[in-house]
Amino acid sequence: MQNAGVSTFLAQLLNGLQYGLLLFLIGSGLTLIFGVMRVINLAHGSLFMIGAYLAYVVAGWTGSFWFALPAAISGGILFGTFLEAALFRRFRDREHLDQVLLTFALILIFEEARSILVDNQFHSVAVPELLDFSIPIVGGFAYSAYRLAVLAVCLAVAGLMVLVVERTNIGASIRAAAENPEMVGLLGLDARRIHMLVFAAGTALAMLAGALAAPLQSVYPNMGDGFLILSFIVVVIGGLGSIGGAFWAALLVGTIDTLGKAYVPQLAGIAVCGLMALVLLVRPSGLFARG
Amino acid sequence: MKSATSRGNTFLALAGLAVASMPFWATAYHMQLASTALILSMFALSLQLLVGGAGLVSLAHAGFFGLGAYTIYLLGPVSILISLPVAALTAGVAALGIGALALRTSGFFFLMTTLAFGQMLFFLFHDTPLGGGLDGVFIQRPDTIWTISKAQRPTVFLLLNLSVLAAMYAGLWLLMRTLFGRALLGIRANEHRMRAMGHPVQRLKLAAFTVAGMLAGIAGHMAALTDAFIAPDLLGWHRSAEALLAILLGGIGFLHGPILGAFALTLLEELSPLITERQRLVEGAVILAAVLLLRRGLAGIGR
């Protein structure tokens, strides 16, 4: 009996970490876009939804889930570049109220487009056959291979991001832009290119997260809404513009939310918000903010 | 934010009289529609104290609206003379607590934290059995002042909602004339200068946040009373965005803007199904048009 309890707990813990890593993919894009462009994007959760639907459609067309991941990444880069050039570039000088409403309008339009192009039904995406088995971990406890693969992919993306942001020239200019947007122009860097890059990368990450999540949960209308709120909380806890902060905050939020839903379902939603309230009390600029 | 001139107030009073005369010429359906617009007006007007007054864009506001609505359910059938102040007080206490935390941040962080706190209130009623569950509940209307027959309801609620909105507008109009109101406008214009001049900026903002929350609670209370149905969606942040839209559409720079915006939005929601089923597309397009073209809102046309 006790053994079963431990197995369930381990499974939920791993689920929590994997959920947290998906949150990191969404939240890291959000925090970079806030940090660098000073644009609030409420439609970021919708990008996650679009990624999941893209995976559903591509997997349906080609018969293989494996095409969905590159489709989500390349689709995200294209879509993000388009959104930045067509809209978000113009939103930057606007007041917060305008940004909130403009991106709220995008949510409505994306959802309606989804309803026109696909439909309003719940869909499931099959776990790829290659990974449709369980891996025994300790004792009688086994865990889904696909979920482990998602963990690995997210960790790899996180590592790659840290490497790019902390170790490369373009990463240095992104950090400079997040620290002090006016500085970028003074240093002779092309602010427009940085914005486009950051927005395209953020969109691709959110859509990749959606595609990865598609086999784990149903694909359904407004599925990005819950992720939007949680990724906002991740950004607040992690500190604006901080990739490392977003990483630890996402793991924390993902684990608390998942364990909460498993053991005290009534309080899961409130617990995460309570955590954020606590962080605001102690450190208003975020738990992991620099300085 | 400008308050209406005496000519503007005369116009508003005439519009109010026109609404008040509806029982003589309008159908029950249209009176209910007018009640919906009046309630959205109250809700948006309460938020205008923050947005147009102190320059604070809050996404938690629907939470206070919903708290006010749920007060009626939690109290059971009592007189409106009890439920209305209790609704205002409950929402006010919640706004004081949430505001004390959220106002430690500013700018983007304020938006994000109010969004999260608003959703926390939403989850409180969505995930726990406290408020009757996620599907919502029908509530028993209190009619202990006098017994209202079913046929009288649209008339009574229309006049009740109109009176509450009129009182709320008059109260805010006066409030913006006090030192407190002037100080809020100062904070919106230049917070640093107000701080340097020795104004207790933080406390003024918290006071505005609390008062706005109380007024939203009153609006929510009237909504629950009018519709006799409550659901967790009342607290969701999409409703806060709707109130912000009413403010922007009506004119962020004017105290009476949200009322114009709320009536325009209600009319649009009523008429747009005649043209297309794609409701969200229409709403999205209206937002884009309002933000990009109608910079000063309906109240600013021709000025």
CA distances from B291 to A104, A274, B252, B284, B298 (A): 11, 34, 11, 11, 12
Q: Would you say B101 and A236 are in contact if contact means Cβ atoms under 8 Å apart?
A: no
Q: Which two tokens stand for residue B148?
A: 């209202």
Query: Binning pLDDT at 50, 70 and 90, where does residue A2 land?
Result: low
B116/A266 touch (CB, cutoff 8 Å), yes or no: no
Contact B57 A111 (CB under 8 A): no
Joined tokens for residue B275: 């043209």
Asked if residue A291 has pLDDT above 50, the reply is: no
Q: Could you say which of B112, B287, B290 has the minimum Cβ distance to residue A236?
A: B112
Q: What is the pLDDT of residues A169-191, one digit of tens each?
A: 888 888 888 777 777 777 777 88
Are A100 and A42 within 8 A, CB to CB? yes
Indicate the pLDDT class of residue B50, thresholds 50, 70 and 90.
Answer: very high
Residue type, B106: S
Optimal mutation site among A108, A119, A222, interface B, most CBs of chain B within 10 A: A108
Is the whole-model pTM more than 0.90? no
Residue B241 has its nearest CB partner, among A101, A109, A229, at A101
CA B230 to the chain's CA centroid? 16
Q: Indicate yes or no: CB of A109 within 8 angstroms of CB of B281.
A: yes
Query: Which is more confidently placed, B111 or A289?
Result: B111
B265-290 pLDDT tens trace: 999 888 888 877 788 888 888 888 88
CB–CB of A100 and B111 under 8 A? Answer: yes
Contacts of B112 in chain A (CB under 8 A): 40, 232-233, 235-236
pLDDT class of B303 with cuts at 50, 70, 90: low
Residues of B in contact with A112 (CB under 8 A): 278-281, 284
Question: Alpha-carbon distance A229 to B63, whole Å?
Answer: 15
Q: What are the domain boundaries of chain A?
A: 18-223
What is the mean pLDDT of the segment spanning B233-259? Answer: 90
- Chain B: nearest CA to A104, how far in angstroms? 7
Which of B111, B116, B280 has its CB closest to that of A233? B116
B302 falls in which pLDDT band (50, 70, 90)?
low
Distances from the Cα of A146 to the Cαs of A104, A127, A135, A152, B231, in angstroms?
34, 7, 10, 10, 37
pLDDT in tens, B123-159: 888 888 787 777 888 887 765 455 677 778 888 899 9
